[in-house]
């Protein structure tokens, strides 16, 4: 896989070394068991796969290249490059201006942009409508387009479904940048509708089964379907794609649900005439991170700490997996670990910051699961580990742990 030129400040002299060692010993990722780091009074279980992915490193490299190649020019990002606060803060410090926030609210009006300005397309991609707007202004949009290739793969799958006259069901979060972009592209190819979870999928199934009226459909799915969408006509032949950062198991369950529904409604003989059995369009890093988290959760631990941006979809799903088994704290950096007894963390369910006291158990040896999302630098995870280690007197040095593991 390509090696990207990203700032060394995002790398870690400890975490990255361990990840590279695991990668060298298991290049095909057949082993998703975690790595145990034994510091004596505290042990860390770190996932086989976590942190920066191909798409994120590609986006960061292109953004830094844009700044280097265009001195004196005004450089914009459509929205957050990735969902990580430290990376986005670094880009702002370099003079890059953000045109909008993650919800699509404008910071910079389109009328302010000029033909010779530089606009970077973020890793999530963007809508066809925004591409057209930028092109009309005269801005060249492909040179610094950082759209993740796995997002592009979803668009190509959508195009194929459209060519075969399937209506496209997108499993995603309607307001997420990636889903907004995918919805725009898929709607160009075919009639499209977004469902965020199994509950919405089953509500769509109720309509398809004749248990929901047209009026109820219009109310329930308002804003989630493409222009000219006629549910009575366009739901007899469907295929499922997804926002690449959703839980793989959820996407598969939704696809299985619609396949079973179509068999129930139309019989098994000509099922391909009503349901496209598409391969999962989850990105490899999201899938690997989730599989590695399942590997983590097979081990005994006292708590889990998941590091990443609070608006990061893939990170929130890792939190969701961990919190089903043990106390889990979602933080963006070591600054949220206030003391050895107090941690400030994010509840992504209700979008609130919480403060928990006594998060570290009082015992001879504490075991902590530590992982991060695909947009989190290893250096940030390293900082979290260092902060936690500072609470344990007499712990082994990192160098000693590496030697004991046979890593130099």
Distance in angstroms (rounded) separating the CA atoms of residues 28 and 31: 8
Task: Give the Cβ contact number of residue 149 at 10 Å.
Answer: 12
Q: Which of 44, 40, 41 is nearest to 15 (CA)?
A: 44
- Contact partners, residue 229, CB within 8 Å, separation at least 6: 191, 192, 193
Q: Which of 239, 235, 327, 242 is nearest to 287 (CA)?
A: 242
- Contact partners, residue 126, CB within 8 Å, separation at least 6: 78, 147, 177, 181
| Residue 336 a catalytic site member | no
Distance in angstroms (rounded) separating the CA atoms of residues 40 and 25: 25
How many helices (DSSP H) and strands (DSSP E) are in the chain? 14, 14
Residues 15 and 338 sit within 8 Å (Cβ to Cβ): no
Pairing of strands 75-77, 97-98: parallel
Task: Give the Cβ contact number of residue 271 at 10 Å.
Answer: 15
User: Which of 131, 177, 178, 336 is flagged as catalytic?
Assistant: 178
- Which residues are designated catalytic? 178
């Amino acid at each position: 896989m390509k090696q990207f030129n990203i700032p060394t400040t995002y790398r870690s002299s400890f975490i990255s070394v361990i990840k590279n060692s695991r990668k060298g010993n298991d290049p095909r990722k057949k082993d998703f068991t975690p790595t145990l780091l034994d510091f004596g009074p505290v042990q860390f279980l770190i996932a086989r796969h976590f942190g920066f992915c191909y798409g994120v490193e590609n986006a960061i490299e292109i953004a830094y290249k844009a700044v280097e190649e265009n001195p004196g020019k005004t450089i914009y990002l459509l929205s957050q490059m990735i969902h990580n606060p430290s990376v986005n803060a670094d880009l702002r410090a370099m003079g890059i201006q953000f045109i909008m926030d993650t919800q699509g609210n404008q910071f910079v009006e389109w009328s302010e942009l000029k033909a010779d300005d530089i606009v970077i397309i973020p890793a999530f991609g963007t809508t066809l409508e925004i591409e057209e707007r930028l092109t009309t202004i005269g801005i060249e949009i492909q040179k610094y387009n950082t759209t993740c290739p796995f997002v592009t793969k979803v668009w190509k799958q959508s195009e194929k479904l459209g060519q075969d006259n399937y209506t496209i069901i997108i499993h995603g979060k309607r307001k997420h940048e990636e889903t907004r972009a995918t919805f725009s592209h898929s709607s160009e190819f075919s009639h499209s509708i977004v469902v965020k979870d199994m509950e919405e999928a089953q509500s769509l199934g109720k309509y398809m089964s004749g248990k929901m009226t047209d009026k109820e459909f219009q109310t329930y799915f308002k804003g989630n379907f493409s222009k000219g969408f006629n549910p009575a006509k366009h739901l007899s032949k469907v295929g499922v794609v997804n926002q690449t950062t959703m839980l793989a198991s959820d996407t598969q369950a939704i696809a299985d649900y619609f396949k079973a529904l179509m068999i129930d409604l139309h019989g098994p003989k000509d099922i391909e005439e009503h349901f496209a059995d598409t391969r999962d369009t989850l990105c490899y890093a999201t899938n690997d991170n989730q599989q590695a988290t399942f590997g983590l959760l097979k081990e005994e631990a006292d708590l889990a700490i998941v590091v990443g941006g609070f608006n990061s979809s893939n990170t929130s799903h890792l939190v969701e997996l961990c919190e089903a088994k043990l106390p889990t704290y979602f933080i963006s950096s070591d600054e949220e670990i206030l003391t050895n007894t107090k941690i400030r963390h994010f509840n992504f369910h209700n979008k609130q910051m919480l403060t928990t006291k006594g998060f570290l158990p009082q015992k001879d040896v504490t075991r902590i699961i530590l992982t991060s999302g695909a947009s989190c630098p290893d250096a940030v995870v390293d900082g979290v580990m260092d902060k936690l280690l500072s609470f344990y007197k007499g712990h082994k040095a990192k160098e000693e742990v590496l030697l004991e593991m046979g890593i130099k």
